[in-house]
């Protein structure tokens, strides 16, 4: 089944020293990337590879996503890091 028809729903997030603007931009990227993870259990991304990340000045962040099954629900646990800044996000995919 194609993930094109699914929407990433942010279930929880915690921020450590990220500005509100950075959080907003990183969550936008996260929602798009979660749909592309596919069957991988773990995926790594360098936001410098994303043109919009450069435009919004969040290109210094790295992203690690782990796909986990929690109570029969597929969840995507992501961690953005850049120096001493960190944003942790948990998301699920729901039919759109």
* Domain boundaries, given as residue ranges, for the chain: 3-95
Helix (H) or strand (E) holding 79: strand 73-82
The average pLDDT across 47-65 equals 94
CA-to-CA distance for 53 and 93, rounded, in angstroms?
22
pTM to 2 decimal places:
0.89
CA-to-CA distance for 41 and 53, rounded, in angstroms?
24
What would the two tokens of residue 2 be? 């194609």
- What pLDDT shows up at residue 22? 97
The 10s digit of each residue's pLDDT in 71-80 is 988 999 999 9
């Amino acid at each position: 089944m194609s993930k094109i028809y699914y929407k990433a729903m942010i279930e929880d997030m915690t921020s450590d020293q990220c500005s509100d603007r950075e959080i907003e931009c990183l969550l936008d990227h996260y929602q798009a990337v979660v749909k592309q993870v596919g069957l991988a259990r773990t995926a790594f991304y360098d936001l410098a590879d994303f043109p919009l990340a450069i435009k919004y000045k969040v290109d210094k962040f790295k992203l690690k996503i782990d796909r986990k099954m929690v109570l029969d629900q597929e969840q995507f646990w992501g961690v953005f890091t850049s120096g001493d800044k960190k944003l942790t996000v948990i998301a699920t995919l729901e039919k759109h």
